[in-house]
A and B are shown apart, each in its own frame.
Chain A
Amino acid sequence: MIPITKTPKCYVGGSFIRSESGRVYEMRGSSGEFLANIPLCSRKDLRNAVEAAAKGGAGWAKRTPYNRAQILYRIAEMIESRAAEMSAWVPGKEVRATIDRIVHFAGWADKYEQVLGSVNPVASPHFNFTVTEPMGIVGILAPEDNPLLALMTLILPAITSGNSVVALASKNAPYPAILLGEMLAVSDLPGGVINLLTGDRAEILPTFATHEHIRALAGIATREEAVALQQGASESVKRVKLLAPDTDWYSARFESPYGIRDFVEAKTVWHPVGS
């Protein structure tokens, strides 16, 4: 029997794509043996992913919070059923923590509004309330370590409220993101809500910073990268939430609605009180 090896592809817009550039880089095992060719995505791939995110995001934001909760829970189910396969690439502990975190945010999907929104006291005959709305497209820059847990920890707060994301996965450990894409494809999550790219950070990072359609950035950055991201973000007026490279991804601080608040806009409505 000739072994059939898999061609890893990126999950963008609900399809599995190669880089438009046709480039790949080699992924190697712990003893240096060749494992697979991983797409080396270009800035044009990022642009295409943003288009896909815009297309998929509009419908996702319109879903009821209850339905978003169901779908997030379904993602956890899909990872659970292939946990053994995923555990070949990351520790079992990380897979379990990721599933827990997805279920945690599935729970928040129809509840965060009660925490983040408010009814405001005003000195006139009006109801005055503040509700949250998703920002749009969020760019995610995942760290090299914890390639599954960190990636999902960055993605979840953004998508729970109805944003769509374009994420750049870990370069040295891209395979969990490739597998994650395959699981998302069967999870009822609409195509384009989560878009996963693999490739070289230094090459794509400036485009993450300057792309006008990306409304916010989340992830890990070194001091120099942070400067570049902040500068580009100031040009295109986007929100930037960066974490330190030594972040503990298992920390319970990630399990709170305040991560969701980082990627919503507040809308305040005045409504006249009837007599």
Chain B
Amino acid sequence: MTRPALRRLLDEIGPVDATGIEERVAKYTTRSIKKQSKVFGLKLAVTMVDLTTLEGKDTPGKVASLCRKALCPHPGDDIPRVAAVCVYPSMVKHAARHVKGSGVRIASVATAFPSGQAPLKTRLAEVRQAVADGADEIDMVINRGAFLAGELGLVQDEIAAVVEACGESTLKVILETSELETYDHIRAASFLAMRVLRPGDFIKTSTGKTSGNATLGNNQVMLDAIRDHFLDTGTEIAMKPAGGIKSAKQALQFLVAVKETLGDAWLNNTRYRFGASSLLNDLLRQLETQRSGAYQAPYTFSDDSSGY
């Protein structure tokens, strides 16, 4: 059953051709990217990683180790730094000690991540605290309960309130696509968010805390939404798939989707990010394989904090 408010929004923005999307993204996995193009793509993907640790067992020490990995992913002159470290709000001040001023940004999840089930006042206070502690970017979750209940106005107002609470910091809006159930819903939620976001803010697929993660399919629906929104309004919204992207091969396929949907303007880390932790070492592993000509063992690469 589609709620009236959602029906109206879908009429306005147009529905998603699910079969078409699936067929289109299946083609992305058939591109053959070799040699210099592969190295270019792998390095680009490294610069787009939001190196993430979001666990109950995070400690200042673990975050310090994550930050060191972010600043120097692997010895060697030609390996770039990652885009950001992504931590819980209580860890922002610890991360700030290591990466502030280095060019690696600090992203913090906030708004009662991952469920978002807390009073708005609490969620906004969390955002303000994270920003005050030094977070350059805030990853918020939308109120999926309200969205599915058809209270679209409420969802949008809450996003707008968080935009305001962010101040100068960039906002990333997590739609949690696995809980939205259909591509139509993902497209609708994307538009709800984008209409109150500032240029350079992100929409993001998932928290990584549910069974469903970023897929080429939901990534494509959101990229299409960003393109349509840009063509309508001229506002450039950025995109961050998160969760489940573990291999360099997958990362390259996502980059193909960006290139073929939004073009070169989106192929940089102010417009596209990967929320991931284990992806980074696979990217490094493939880069080293390309450099040395020999397949590498995974233990050649330093573990970030996920290893202990």
Of residues 263 through 308 on chain B, the ones whose CB sits less than 8 Å from some CB of chain A are 293-298, 300
- A interface majority secondary structure: helix
* Contact present for B293 and A213 (CB under 8 Å): no
Contact of B298 among A210, A211, A213, A235 (CB under 8 A): A213
Bound complex: CA of A236 vs CA of B298, how far in Å?
A: 13
Bound complex: CA of A211 vs CA of B296, how far in Å?
A: 6
Question: Which residues from chain A contact B295 at a C-beta distance below 8 Å?
Answer: 47, 50, 207, 210-213
Question: Which residues from chain B contact A180 at a C-beta distance below 8 Å?
Answer: none
Query: In the complex, which residue of chain A has the Cβ closest to the Cβ of B294?
Result: A210
Bound complex: CA of A47 vs CA of B282, how far in Å?
A: 14
Bound complex: CA of A137 vs CA of B298, how far in Å?
A: 13
Question: Which residues from chain A contact B294 at a C-beta distance below 8 Å?
Answer: 210-212, 232, 235-236
Sort chain A's interface into a size bin: 10 to 19
Bound complex: CA of A54 vs CA of B297, how far in Å?
A: 10
Question: Which residues from chain B contact A54 at a C-beta distance below 8 Å?
Answer: 298
Q: How far is the CB of B253 from chain A (nearest CB, A)?
A: 16
Question: Which residues from chain B contact A213 at a C-beta distance below 8 Å?
Answer: 295-298
Question: Which residues from chain A contact B300 at a C-beta distance below 8 Å?
Answer: 212
Question: Which residues from chain B contact A232 at a C-beta distance below 8 Å?
Answer: 294
With most chain A CB atoms within 10 A of its CB, the pick from B293, B295, B296, B300 is B295
Bound complex: CA of A207 vs CA of B293, how far in Å?
A: 10
* Contact present for A212 and B297 (CB under 8 Å): yes
Question: Which residues from chain A contact B297 at a C-beta distance below 8 Å?
Answer: 212-213
Query: In the complex, which residue of chain B has the Cβ closest to the Cβ of A211?
Result: B295
With an 8 Å Cβ cutoff, the count of chain B residues facing the other chain is 7
Bound complex: CA of A267 vs CA of B123, how far in Å?
A: 53
Of residues 43 through 98 on chain A, the ones whose CB sits less than 8 Å from some CB of chain B are 47, 50, 54
Question: Which residues from chain B contact A210 at a C-beta distance below 8 Å?
Answer: 293-295
Query: In the complex, which residue of chain B has the Cβ closest to the Cβ of A50?
Result: B295
Query: In the complex, which residue of chain A has the Cβ closest to the Cβ of B293?
Result: A210
Q: How far is the CB of B169 from chain A (nearest CB, A)?
A: 39
Of residues 240 through 262 on chain A, the ones whose CB sits less than 8 Å from some CB of chain B are none
Q: How far is the CB of A270 from chain B (nearest CB, A)?
A: 25
Q: How far is the CB of A165 from chain B (nearest CB, A)?
A: 16
Question: Which residues from chain B contact A212 at a C-beta distance below 8 Å?
Answer: 294-297, 300
Question: Which residues from chain A contact B296 at a C-beta distance below 8 Å?
Answer: 212-213
Query: In the complex, which residue of chain A has the Cβ closest to the Cβ of B300?
Result: A212
Bound complex: CA of A231 vs CA of B9, how far in Å?
A: 65
Bound complex: CA of A236 vs CA of B294, how far in Å?
A: 9
Q: How far is the CB of B142 from chain A (nearest CB, A)?
A: 36
Q: How far is the CB of B282 from chain A (nearest CB, A)?
A: 11
Bound complex: CA of A74 vs CA of B39, how far in Å?
A: 47
Question: Which residues from chain B contact A207 at a C-beta distance below 8 Å?
Answer: 295
Bound complex: CA of A81 vs CA of B75, how far in Å?
A: 54
Bound complex: CA of A54 vs CA of B296, how far in Å?
A: 13
Bound complex: CA of A235 vs CA of B297, how far in Å?
A: 13
Name B's A-contacting residues (CB within 8 A). Answer: 293-298, 300
Q: List 9 other contacts, CB 8 Å, given A207-B295, A212-B294, A235-B294.
A: A54-B298, A210-B293, A210-B295, A212-B295, A212-B296, A213-B295, A213-B297, A213-B298, A236-B294
Name A's B-contacting residues (CB within 8 A). Answer: 47, 50, 54, 207, 210-213, 232, 235-236
A-B contact pairs, 21 of them (CB 8 A): A47-B295, A50-B295, A54-B298, A207-B295, A210-B293, A210-B294, A210-B295, A211-B294, A211-B295, A212-B294, A212-B295, A212-B296, A212-B297, A212-B300, A213-B295, A213-B296, A213-B297, A213-B298, A232-B294, A235-B294, A236-B294
Q: Closest 8 interchain pairs by CB?
A: A213-B297, A210-B294, A212-B297, A211-B295, A212-B296, A47-B295, A212-B294, A212-B295
